[in-house]
Amino acid sequence: TECFVDPEIEKAWMPVDLYIGGAEHAVLHLLYARFWHKVLFDRGYVTTQEPFQKLVNQGMILGEMEYNAFQKPDGTFVSADKVKSMPESEKAELARVKLTKEEVEKAGEYFVMRTDKSIKLDSRAFKMSKSRGNVINPDDVVKEHGADSLRMYEMFMGPLEAVKPWSVESVSGVRDFLGRVWRMIVDERADEMALAEAVQDVEPTEEQNRVLHKTIKAVRNDIQAMQLNTAIARMMEFQNFFSKQKVRPKKAMEQFVLLLSPYAPHIAEELWEVLGHTNTLAYEAFPTFDESALVESSVEVTLHICGKLRSKIQLPAGLDAEATEAAALQDEKFLQWIEGKTIVKKIVIPGKMVNYVVK
């Protein structure tokens, strides 16, 4: 007998977990898809009332920031914040003068003229259009910075739903990050592709393991929340920490490359191969974290006198207030600030801070 769709297949694949689309296009797509899905449901051909479980509208990427100064007929400039209060007749005489990035600088909430910092500018980004001449050609970006840099920058620009201006300088920043990741794992001085000397087949230290699993947990949570920009920030913190390590466990590097792969798949595949794997990482399981590895065995406690930081000590995690204070009183730097003084007040936060108010 014929049927519209195999019931088992329909139940396995529907509804779609996540629909991502621009607000303008998604409205029409969803109207069409939802209408016909509801027709199919009413006719008994599908088992779900809605075809999609969740909708996310990504924000528009605008052109680069444009900076305009307002100039009077006599050649003098008027600060942008004063234009609104000018008579309409004087406003009509103002000319908009477009400035380059080199001619402006940031001053608080505004951009100002570099040559006259009292002149605030009208700075904004506009929707990309051929008529405005602010269209960014992705092919040009890929040619100069690489596909991974373009892909990763678009996710790092800001919250997924936010409207964001394009920035060439920021693309370079992401490319530089990927360069640091490469040097963290690969020995660039070798004649052939080889691991950096610091990458060794050893077990991670307790601190290294904690940083690794904190990163995995944060990235997984950020992906689940569609906070792709903060997931990238977490990976940048990982790279910053491990690049300073004289020994970088191979296991930690492998887990990091797997975290990186959805964001920068091309460089991730190359790093995976350098790490000794012959098969693509596409079939590898995404890293999972060990909750027990997140627990710190020691904590840093800051010691203050009248609210001013005077010393720091490392203590075992889990000490109560009494034990924390007792340890603080063993610190020579802290003791010299209270010697001969009257203690007016004590503030002890276990595992975090000890503060004595003295006179």
38 is a domain residue = yes
Per-residue pLDDT, averaged over 133-147, amounts to 91
Q: Do 221 and 277 share a structural domain? A: yes
Q: Do 220 and 108 share a structural domain? A: no
Domain of residue 40, residue span: 7-56
The Cα 265–Cα 270 span in angstroms is: 9
For the cut 80, the answer to whether the pLDDT of residue 1 exceeds it is: no
Name the average pLDDT for the chain. 92
152 is a domain residue = no
Per-residue pLDDT, averaged over 247-255, amounts to 97
Please tell me the predicted confidence (pLDDT) of residue 204: 95
Q: Do 215 and 281 share a structural domain? A: yes
For the cut 90, the answer to whether the pLDDT of residue 89 exceeds it is: no
91 is a domain residue = yes
Question: pLDDT tens digits, residue range 166-212?
Answer: 888 889 999 999 999 999 999 988 888 899 999 999 999 999 999 99
DSSP 8-state assignment for residue 93: H
Please tell me the predicted confidence (pLDDT) of residue 227: 94
129 is a domain residue = no
Q: Which residue has the higher pLDDT, 271 or 63?
A: 271
Q: Do 309 and 266 share a structural domain? A: no
Question: pLDDT tens digits, residue range 271-291?
Answer: 999 999 999 999 999 999 999
Per-residue pLDDT, averaged over 133-148, amounts to 91
Q: How many domains does the chain have?
A: 4
Give phi and psi for 220, each to the nearest 5. -60, -45
Of 198, 60, 65, 38, residue with least CA distance to 123: 65
Q: Do 306 and 214 share a structural domain? A: no
Last residue of one domain, picked from the residues 251, 273, 292: 292
161 is a domain residue = no
Q: Which residue has the tokens 């203050």?
A: 304
Q: Do 191 and 91 share a structural domain? A: no
Q: Which helix (H) or strand (E) holds 250?
A: helix 250-260
Per-residue pLDDT, averaged over 249-271, amounts to 97
Q: Which two tokens stand for residue 6?
A: 């195999």
Count of residues making up the chain: 359
pLDDT class of 297 with cuts at 50, 70, 90? confident
232 is a domain residue = yes
155 is a domain residue = no
Q: For the stretch 244-279, what's the b/e string if a residue is b when 16 or more beta carbons lie within 10 angstroms of its beta carbon?
A: ebeebbbbbbbbbbbbbbbbbbebbbbbbebbeeee
Last residue of one domain, picked from the residues 84, 106, 124: 124
CATH number at residue 235: 1.10.730.10
